[in-house]
Amino acid sequence: MKAAPSIEMQVIAGHELSSAQRQELLALCSAAYGEDFSAYLEMLDPAMHLLLSADGAMVSHGAWVERELRAHGHGILRSAYVEAIATLPSQQGKGYGSLVLSRMPSLFGGYDIAVLSPSAEEFYRRLGWETWEGPLSYRSPEGEEIATPEERVMILRLPRTPARLDSRAALSVDWRPLEVW
């Protein structure tokens, strides 16, 4: 009988990642997404990272950055915008991604809401995330609202989420390069 792997999780700010951790993280995300993840990792530089290692090797990852959301009728919501949920392809199906995503909400104490742009909605839904049904947009650097009807986002309600937040209302996010949502 094979022993269960030794699991460790580490929370670390992007600027505190060692060169070796950054390279391992880049390799993990590039393999998981099937593309060079370098530009996205740069975009995540101010992020907090949750690294999951099994038997000493990084196998799964999730990150979050602070972003301002505006939900109709609620003003600015301080959001933990979840990014780069990734597991090495050889390690997928073992629950590592679920462990990362399940651990993250306990780290979001100062946020009003958690948000992500899903690649597989059912994966997130089974962990408590809900699809935002209302219209989405972003605010350009000039302050203009630009509709993003092609985008999908999901939210996770946190203790500070307004009780009357309606997921059918309009929702906008601040602009950023590469991927707005």
pLDDT for position 115: 98
| 48 within domain boundaries | yes
| CA atoms of 32 and 27, how far apart (whole Å) | 8
Considering its fold, how many domains does the chain have in total? 1
At 131, which CATH number? 3.40.630.30
Mean pLDDT, range 41-63, rounded to an integer:
95
pLDDT for position 177: 87
- Are residues 82 and 48 in contact, defined by beta-carbon separation less than 8 angstroms? no
Percent of the chain whose pLDDT exceeds 70: 100
**Phi and psi for 79 in degrees, rounded to 5?**
-115, 145
Mean pLDDT, range 79-100, rounded to an integer:
97
| 180 within domain boundaries | no
Task: Please check the confidence at residue 45 and state whether its pLDDT lies above 90.
Answer: no
Stated as kind and residue range, the H or E segment containing 29 is: helix 19-33
Share the mean pLDDT of the chain.
95
* Residue-range definition of the domain harbouring residue 87: 7-174
